[in-house]
């Protein structure tokens, strides 16, 4: 049976699906819409799957889409290990402005559900990672936004020294949390 674990953030969960191992390897059902709905009370209908490959120190984020194009995501790591971080941007939420982090790896098999209205980012902690995510809304360039990874208000711990982080020029220009929520 799939295990669902709440986080301190409203509507944000991590999941552990049972693994079936034998001499051939491992099988795992990574998503079942009805089981997810029954266990969380949330409806998630995913329409787009994405995958990225990164080397150690690559930090992607913090990203989100605004308005009608906001996305909920179910993320997991197919290879390697990442630190995944989310920030609740929903002003009406009791956990608005709070963040949560979790290590995801192919070894621990944990998946992480990120609701709409959250900024999301991750950094690769292993030599290489393959990061997979399901989205419940299509990517829309006009709706994309983000928060700078080293925001002074959020004080996020990425578990690697700053000089080891590899960040795209686009992500280095993201605004501060205070600007995003203004």
Cα-based distances in Å from 170 to 6, 115, 141, 145, 173: 32, 24, 13, 11, 5
Domain-located, residue 143 = yes
Number of domains in the chain: 1
Within 8 A by CB and 6+ apart from 175, the residues are 146, 147, 148
Report the SS3 class of residue 75: strand
| CB-facing half-sphere around the CA of 1: CA atoms within 13 A | 5
pLDDT of residue 168: 98
CA 109 to chain centre: 14
For residue 117, the domain's CATH number is 2.60.120.10
Domain-located, residue 28 = no
pLDDT of residue 31: 87
Domain-located, residue 7 = no
Domain-located, residue 58 = yes
DSSP 145-180: EE--TT-TTT----SS-GGG-EE-HHHHTPPPHHHH
Q: What is the pLDDT along the chain (182 residues), one digit of tens a residue?
A: 788 999 999 999 999 988 888 999 888 888 888 888 888 888 889 999 999 999 999 999 999 999 999 999 999 999 999 999 999 999 999 999 999 999 999 999 999 999 999 999 999 999 999 999 999 999 999 999 999 999 999 999 999 999 999 999 999 999 999 999 98
Domain-located, residue 133 = yes
pLDDT of residue 72: 97
Catalytic annotation, residues: 63, 133
* 0.85 surpassed by pTM: yes
Domain-located, residue 37 = no
CA 31 to chain centre: 16
Best CA proximity match to 165, nearest among 61, 47, 87, 14: 61
Domain-located, residue 92 = yes
pLDDT of residue 30: 87
Domain-located, residue 85 = yes
Provide the residue range defining the domain that includes 56.
45-174
């Amino acid at each position: 049976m799939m295990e669902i674990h709440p986080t301190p953030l409203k509507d944000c969960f991590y999941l552990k699906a049972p693994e079936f191992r034998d001499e051939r390897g491992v099988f795992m059902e990574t998503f079942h819409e009805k089981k997810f709905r029954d266990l969380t009370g949330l409806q998630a209908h995913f329409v787009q799957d994405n995958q990225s490959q990164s080397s150690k120190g690559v930090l992607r984020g913090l990203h989100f889409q605004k308005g009608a194009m906001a996305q909920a995501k179910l993320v997991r790591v197919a290879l390697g290990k990442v630190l995944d971080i989310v920030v609740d941007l929903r002003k009406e939420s009791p956990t608005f402005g709070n963040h949560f982090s979790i290590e995801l790896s192919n070894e621990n098999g944990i998946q992480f559900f990120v609701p709409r209205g959250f900024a999301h980012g991750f950094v690769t902690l292993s030599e290489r990672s393959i990061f997979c995510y399901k989205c419940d809304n299509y990517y829309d360039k006009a709706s994309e936004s983000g928060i700078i990874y080293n925001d002074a208000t959020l004080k996020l711990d990425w578990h690697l020294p700053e000089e080891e982080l590899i960040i795209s020029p686009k992500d280095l220009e993201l605004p501060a949390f205070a600007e995003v929520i203004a």
